[in-house]
Amino acid sequence: KKGSYDHFMQKEIHEQPHSLTMTMRGRLKNSGVILGGLKEHLKTIRRSRRVIFIGCGTSYNAALAARPLVEELTGIPVTMEVASDLLDRQGPIYREDTAVFVSQSGETADTLLALEYALENGALCVGVTNTVGSTLSRRTHCGIHINAGCEIGVASTKAYTSQIVVMAMMALAIGSDQLSTQTRRESIITGLSSLPSHASEVLKLDSDMKELASSLIDSESLLVFGRGYNYATALEGALKVKEVALMHSEGMLAGEMKHGPLALVDENLPIIVIATRDACFSKQKSVIQQLLSRKGRLIVMCSTGDISAVVPSGSCRTIQVPEVADCLQPVINIIPLQLLAYHLTVLRGFDVDQPRNLAKSVTTQ
Ligand code: M6R
């Protein structure tokens, strides 16, 4: 079943041009997106007081990546909830809320308990899952299947990128009644249709990421700094590294750098800074300058051909990725980090598909 690949995680990373195609198949039209599972509920969602995204681990991160676009295209405030934390706090949920539950397996205990809690409180409950017939898809009022195909590796990879795409399509569908954003929506739809080919392009970084991994093999820790659309990329890249490569790694909001993390910076600690083009680009450039002036050991992720605009020549390693629509950039940016985590794991001699102490689906609290 692994075909020519050594591990399922590797296969699933490389499958992303195809899984993304399957996620969008039949759903993208020039005029908008068609999401059969949501159609009947769009009016209710548009009237809701807020959207709450609820999930765990990678699924939470996918929702975080889509959050800015949902806010932009719908004008509805979006709050984020880690399922266990919502339950711990018994946070308020109202009838006027739309609660979106994101789960690859559709069987994660905390997410399902949060779903029961939201149902009891009268919210409209929407499911985003990869698993047809799962408890999540049966218990929600409506939803969208991500159609990424079966994911076997414990580390979620292709489900992550497909989840982001589904939530971007959801934002387009909810916001489709707004004339003022029509041009923006059209350009995002064009961007979505070119994502599979950009994913193929970025997968060519495989051997570069293997080389980068070999330079990090003995590091004790790896930080990833992102912001805006790519805060989620930082969290998700770090989650992949700690989960499979068993290396301490933290994703950090670059805007928080001076509020603590800066104290960690020295010549040894590797730091990945995501600086692809979006509204936060100039702020990220200044973060890079500040880290370089403290002799930080940087690896900068930027758009292809953008190195000279981002870093003084030869001052650090770079990961160059194809530029796509700003809100879709997280789909592309995570792929080299998935490859990096994969190669780090193999080089460090750990089990890629079955990391220590972890299960694919966390069905107990
Ligand atoms: O099946 P789910 O998406 O609900 O799973 C949630 C998390 O347990 C999961 O994403 C976990 O964080 C992954 N193993 C990360 O790769």
pLDDT in tens, 257-274: 999 999 999 999 999 999
Q: Please give the number of the atom of ligand 1 that sits closest to the Cα of 240.
A: 16
Nearest CA to ligand 1 atom 9: 57
Q: Rounded to an integer, what distance in angstroms lies between the CA atom of residue 174 and that of residue 177?
A: 7
Supply the DSSP symbol for 35: -
* 58 CB near ligand 1 (under 6 Å): yes
Residue 248 half-sphere exposure toward CB, CA atoms < 13 A: 5
Describe the strand order of the beta sheet including 221-226 as a list of residue ranges: 248-253, 221-226, 270-274, 297-303, 317-321
- With the most atoms of ligand 1 within 8 angstroms of its CB, the residue from 7, 13, 53, 56 to mutate is 56
Q: Please list, residue by residue across 198-215, b when 16 or more beta carbons sit within 10 angstroms of its beta carbon and e when fewer do.
A: bbbebbebbebbbebbee
Phi and psi torsions of 140, nearest 5°: -80, 160
- With the most atoms of ligand 1 within 8 angstroms of its CB, the residue from 7, 13, 58, 354 to mutate is 58
pLDDT of residue 138: 98
- Kindly give the distance from the C-alpha atom of residue 285 to the centroid of ligand 1, in angstroms, as a whole number: 32
Q: Rounded to an integer, what distance in angstroms lies between the CA atom of residue 14 and that of residue 273?
A: 24
- With the most atoms of ligand 1 within 8 angstroms of its CB, the residue from 60, 81, 104, 364 to mutate is 104
pLDDT of residue 361: 83
- Kindly give the distance from the C-alpha atom of residue 56 to the centroid of ligand 1, in angstroms, as a whole number: 6
The region, left, alpha or beta by phi > 0 then psi within -120 to 50, assigned to residue 149 is left
Query: Which tokens hold the place of 249?
Result: 């790694």
Instruction: Give the largest Cα separation in the chain, rounded.
Output: 58
pLDDT of residue 30: 77
Nearest CA to ligand 1 atom 12: 57
- Could you tell me if 15 and 41 are in contact, meaning their C-beta atoms sit under 8 angstroms apart? no
Q: Rounded to an integer, what distance in angstroms lies between the CA atom of residue 54 and that of residue 188?
A: 24
pLDDT of residue 116: 98
pLDDT of residue 314: 76
* 355 CB near ligand 1 (under 6 Å): no
pLDDT of residue 312: 81
Interacting residues of 289 by C-beta distance below 8 A, sequence separation 6+ = none
- With the most atoms of ligand 1 within 8 angstroms of its CB, the residue from 362, 363, 364, 365 to mutate is 362
What's the distance, Cα to Cα, between the start and end of the chain in Å?
31
Q: Rounded to an integer, what distance in angstroms lies between the CA atom of residue 331 and that of residue 340?
A: 15
- With the most atoms of ligand 1 within 8 angstroms of its CB, the residue from 59, 84, 239, 352 to mutate is 59
- Could you tell me if 18 and 196 are in contact, meaning their C-beta atoms sit under 8 angstroms apart? yes
Q: Rounded to an integer, what distance in angstroms lies between the CA atom of residue 151 and that of residue 174?
A: 28
Q: Kindly indicate whether the ipTM for this predicted assembly is greater than 0.90, answering yes or no.
A: yes
* 243 CB near ligand 1 (under 6 Å): yes
* Cα dihedral sign, 58-60-63-68: negative
Q: Rounded to an integer, what distance in angstroms lies between the CA atom of residue 35 and that of residue 169?
A: 8
* 111 CB near ligand 1 (under 6 Å): yes
| Residue stretches of the chain with pLDDT short of 50 | none
Please give the model's pTM, rounded to 2 decimal places: 0.97
* 57 CB near ligand 1 (under 6 Å): yes
Nearest CA to ligand 1 atom 7: 57
- Kindly give the distance from the C-alpha atom of residue 320 to the centroid of ligand 1, in angstroms, as a whole number: 28
pLDDT of residue 357: 86
- Kindly give the distance from the C-alpha atom of residue 25 to the centroid of ligand 1, in angstroms, as a whole number: 24
* 163 CB near ligand 1 (under 6 Å): no
pLDDT of residue 243: 96
pLDDT of residue 31: 77
Phi and psi torsions of 7, nearest 5°: -140, 155
- Kindly give the distance from the C-alpha atom of residue 218 to the centroid of ligand 1, in angstroms, as a whole number: 27
pLDDT of residue 112: 98
* 83 CB near ligand 1 (under 6 Å): no
| pLDDT tens digits, one per residue of 19-71 | 999 999 999 987 799 999 999 999 999 999 999 999 999 999 999 999 999 99
Q: What is the mean pLDDT of the chain?
A: 96
Q: Rounded to an integer, what distance in angstroms lies between the CA atom of residue 88 and that of residue 97?
A: 19
